């Protein structure tokens, strides 16, 4: 059942990326004890983090910290006391400027722009 879930998440991520030419990359990364798992979808100019939050994580508390090629997701539980975090490695550096976030049905989707390579 877990294998089926993993395959379905990967297929969904590829559909979410909207790329059929092989330029998008989707990887599911999970850290179950802390309640944050994400599908990372990379396209030529952007990175999309599709974060699944367990019921005990307050979606309003979620912060994403970008440091080069690392995206760290930090959140508090609904009880407010416990902080949970997980770091996801990106293929290319991204920026938080102009980020777009949407929360729906237990999923937080954050779209980031990739940083332009220096000349």
Write down the domain spans for the chain: 2-114
What whole-number percentage of the chain has pLDDT above 90? 11
Predicted confidence (pLDDT) per residue in 20-57, tens digit: 444 455 554 444 445 577 888 888 899 998 988 877 77
- Give the C-alpha distances (Å, rounded to integers) separating 39 from 80, 81, 90: 25, 26, 11
Confidence (pLDDT) at 5: 57
Confidence (pLDDT) at 112: 92
Q: What is the pTM of this model?
A: 0.65
18, 41 contact by CB (below 8 A): no
Q: With 80 as the cut, is the pLDDT of residue 4 above it?
A: no
Predicted confidence (pLDDT) per residue in 7-23, tens digit: 455 545 444 444 444 44
Question: DSSP assignment, residue 93?
Answer: -
Q: Does domain 2-114 have CATH number 3.90.1200.10?
A: no
Q: What is the mean pLDDT of the chain?
A: 74
């Amino acid at each position: 059942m877990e294998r089926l879930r993993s395959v379905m998440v990967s297929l969904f991520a590829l559909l979410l990326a909207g790329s059929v030419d092989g330029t998008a990359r989707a990887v599911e990364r999970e850290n179950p004890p802390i309640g944050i798992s994400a599908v990372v979808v990379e396209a030529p100019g952007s990175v999309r983090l599709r974060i699944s939050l367990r019921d005990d994580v307050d979606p309003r508390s979620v912060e994403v910290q970008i440091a080069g090629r690392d995206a760290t997701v930090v959140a508090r539980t609904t009880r407010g006391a416990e902080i949970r975090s997980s770091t996801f490695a990106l293929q290319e550096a991204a920026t938080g400027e102009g980020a777009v976030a949407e929360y729906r049905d237990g999923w937080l989707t954050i779209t980031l722009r990739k940083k332009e390579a220096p000349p």
